[in-house]
Amino acid sequence: MPDKLSLLGLLPEQSVLVNASARDWRTAIRLAGEGLILGGAATAAYSDEMIATVEQLGPYIVIAPGLALAHSRPSPAVRRTGLSWVSLQEPVHFGHRDNDPVRLVVGLAATDHNQHTAALGSLAQLLGAPERMEELLTAPDAATVRHLIGNFDPEVPS
Amino acid sequence: MKILTVCGMGVGSSIILKMNVEKALRSLGVTADVEVADIGTARGAAAGADLVVTSGELAPQLGELKAKIVVIDNLVNVDLIARALEAALSEAR
């Protein structure tokens, strides 16, 4: 069993959706919200909160080329810290100057500012290598995504 | 030296940014305290900071700051972050 707060521990198989179709960024975020709901991390209201975050602050959640980290702040709509994963069949535009179009949306629900730090560090390392991102984006199913993540051994911060 | 990383909520991208800024600083051999703020509290938190690191989407929302603002658009690329920090630090000297 992976550590409960590790990347794999926070991303159960039911929260991983591959080759999804989304017609726009709001739909893509809703799919990430569905994953958080299915994993027991958030309620439906959190999807609205993630969308409102982008409406208020802009598409800054697109943190790297092709990658959006959909999230809002800790709120009553967050049941526990968790992640979701949505790879898109057709990329979607979020309106980001440099990093559009988005091919992968990772949803984050956080109960506080710290619990998920290590998992986010692993996620950043995992997706920091373009070839690994490519391999994950072409994974045919949720089990393969989790298997690839499980094989990844993040360097321990010194 | 104090560096502030800023994102919208202070729970997602700023945490990734903080960790990667710390990594980039290690590769540059620079010692600094790196703190996280959300866009709402960033102006106050930036008062004692030497550098503020944020994304191109959020930088205009910070307004005028005394600290130098470093804009990073790829938060997972540590090499790019190191180059941007190196440039900002050499300018500040």
Tens of pLDDT, residues A32-68: 999 999 999 999 999 999 999 999 999 999 999 999 9
Q: Is residue A4 part of a domain?
A: no
Mean pLDDT of chain A: 93
User: Do the Cβ atoms of B8 and A97 come within 8 Å?
Assistant: no
Decide: B19 and B75 in contact? Cβ < 8 Å.
Answer: no
Residue B69 CB contacts under 8 Å (≥ 6 apart), including other chains: B51, B52, B53, B54, B59, B62
User: Do the Cβ atoms of A73 and B55 come within 8 Å?
Assistant: no
Domain boundaries, chain B: 2-92
CA distance A96 to A50: 16
pLDDT over 80 at A118, yes or no: yes
Task: Tell me what ipTM this predicted complex has.
Answer: 0.89
Test the B interface: residue of A10, A60, A61 with most B CBs within 10 Å: A60
Q: Is residue A25 part of a domain?
A: yes
For A126, the closest chain B residue by CA position comes to B76
User: Domain holding A103: CATH number?
Assistant: 3.40.930.10
Among partner residues A60, A113, A157, which is closest to B11 by beta-carbon distance? A113
Q: Is residue A5 part of a domain?
A: no
- Residue with structure tokens 């992976």? A2
A100: left (phi over 0), alpha (psi -120 to 50) or beta: beta
Instruction: Name the stretches of chain B with pLDDT < 50.
Output: none
Q: Is residue A35 part of a domain?
A: yes
- Number of separate domains in chain A: 1
Decide: A88 and A102 in contact? Cβ < 8 Å.
Answer: yes
pLDDT over 70 at A158, yes or no: no
CA distance A100 to A82: 25
pLDDT of residue B64: 87
Per-residue confidence band for A3, with pLDDT thresholds at 50, 70 and 90: confident
The CATH architecture to which B2-92 belongs is 3-Layer(aba) Sandwich (3.40)
pLDDT over 60 at A157, yes or no: no
Among partner residues A58, A61, A116, which is closest to B13 by beta-carbon distance? A61
Among partner residues B9, B15, B73, which is closest to A120 by beta-carbon distance? B15
For B6, the closest chain A residue by CA position comes to A60
pLDDT of residue B93: 62
Test the B interface: residue of A36, A63, A116 with most B CBs within 10 Å: A63
User: Do the Cβ atoms of B12 and A99 come within 8 Å?
Assistant: no
- Altogether, the residues listed in chain B come to a count of 93
User: Do the Cβ atoms of A57 and B11 come within 8 Å?
Assistant: no
Q: Give the domain extent around A35.
A: 13-151
Q: Is residue A6 part of a domain?
A: no
- The residue with greater pLDDT, B54 or A2, is B54
Per-residue confidence band for A2, with pLDDT thresholds at 50, 70 and 90: low
